[in-house]
Amino acid sequence: MVGSMYKFVMPEVIFGSGSIAQAGECCERLGARHVLVVTDRGVMDAGWTEPVLKSCRAAGLAAVLFDQVTVNPTDEEAAACASTYKEHGCDAIICVGGGSPIDVGKAAAALVTNGGHIRDYEGVDHILHPLPPLVMIPTTAGSGSEVSQFSVIVDSERQKKMTIVSKSLVPDIAIIDPDVLATKSARLTATTGLDVITHAIESYVSIAATPMTDVQAKNALAIAARHLRPSVASKYNKEAKEQMAIASLQAGLAFSNAILGAAHAMSHTIGGRYPFLHGDINAVLLPHVMEFNLIACPEKFREMAILMGEGVTGLSAIAAGEKAIQYVKKLAVDIGAPLTLSEMGFQADAIAAISEIALTDACMITNPRDISAEEVAAILKRAL
């Protein structure tokens, strides 16, 4: 560490039961008068846009809704969202939803002050002008997008998820209300929870990890390992939901500042072609990527095994690290996550093309072990 330099950025965080009601007041404090609320139909149906709109009215703000967001949102959705913002003369954005509405809201924010096509901002630090005020309300404990400097958007022409990384994408305020998580299905709790675990693990072993991100990643991993199973088991386990919300937040802070690795690089590429849930793809890929990465940082793998509650006394770092990998495999089985790409509908003949594209994803740069297209393909074959 001596001699290196790093940055750490995060939004203001408001955490707690009932905090969703502060959305309007937060925007008002940021100087907004006319808010665009970005969401999707599932969140609307679950009833979580209503308290947000109500809080805007209570704060004396006009609000308009954009709810045309899909599971793996595209450049076209981002452009449509930006148009709605401009048409209605908006001056701030609230996103309510999982990673998808949050990513679309961020991309639209970049477009309204920077112009062009969202493709222009793919990669690291290409957004030059400041964004309008952004207030984020996650409805899943998973994406971490509410605190991150990332937006992941499908380029519909190239059928590829673009990773856009810029400090400007860090929202102003993240409102994390664990009550909101109670309406998620066990299936969605499992998949988003495995995304949290993937964020924690990939950011911890990232070559861009720092003492500031390690503390968040390690804490997130320990909490998620203890509380994900109980959270999947019962929608009434409020303590488990709250703990998973904390884990998601801390994993988000870790990966926003340390970036991710090969599992996310591959997952973004697959998600650009198939309508799979992001967390499902990560869940399947993670243990295979861990097996590949183990030799890069065995001591970190040993530490992860300890954080997940495995006994490692008397074991070498490699043997302890293997227990971390076994832990992740067993966890996916226990909570009913998919275990192979095939069962989701993935076609083996896409492997060559996907491997080449995955290599160009921004998340691949920080993977702890150097990787070739052949090695990516081999991992995908093992995950079939």
Residues in contact with its own copies by CB under 8 A are 1-10, 12-19, 167, 210-212, 215-216, 219, 238-239, 242, 246, 249-250
Minimum distance of its own copies from residue 180's CB (angstroms): 14
How many angstroms from the chain centroid is the CA of residue 25? 26
Nearest to 358 by CA among 162, 118, 126: 162
- CA dist 306 and 290 (Å) reads 16
Give the C-alpha distances (Å, rounded to integers) separating 381 from 17, 138, 293, 336: 43, 34, 16, 22
Q: Which residue has the tokens 């297209």?
A: 373
Contact present, 382 and 288 (Cβ < 8 Å): yes
Per the DSSP assignment, residues forming a β-bridge with 154 are 74, 161
138, β-bridge pairs: 97
Min dist CB 147 to its own copies, Å, is 10
Residue number with CB closer to its own copies (16 or 123): 16
Which of 39, 49, 162, 38 is closest to 112 using CA atoms? Answer: 38
Rounded to the nearest whole angstrom, what is the least distance from the CB of residue 329 to its own copies in the complex?
Answer: 27
Q: What is the nearest approach in angstroms of its own copies to the Cβ of residue 241?
A: 9
CB of 175 to its own copies, least distance (A): 10
Q: What would the DSSP string read from start to end of 303-337? A: HHHHHTT---TT--HHHHHHHHHHHHHHHHHHTT-
Q: Choose between 182 and 319: whose C-beta lies nearer to its own copies.
A: 182
Q: In terms of CB distance, is 162 or 254 closer to its own copies?
A: 254
Question: CA-CA distance, 104 to 112, in Å (whole number)?
Answer: 12
Q: Which residues contact 215 (CB under 8 A, 6 or more apart)?
A: none
Q: Of the two residues 3 and 345, which places its CB atom closer to its own copies in the complex?
A: 3
Smallest distance from the beta carbon of 257 to its own copies, in angstroms?
9
Pick between residue 59 and residue 246 the one whose CB is nearest to its own copies: 246
Cα–Cα distance measured from residue 276 to residue 377, given in angstroms and rounded to the nearest whole number = 19
Residue found by looking up tokens 């989701």 in the block: 344
Indicate the residue among 31 and 47 with the shorter CB distance to its own copies.
31
CB of 216 to its own copies, least distance (A): 7
Closer of 128 and 384 to its own copies (Cβ): 128
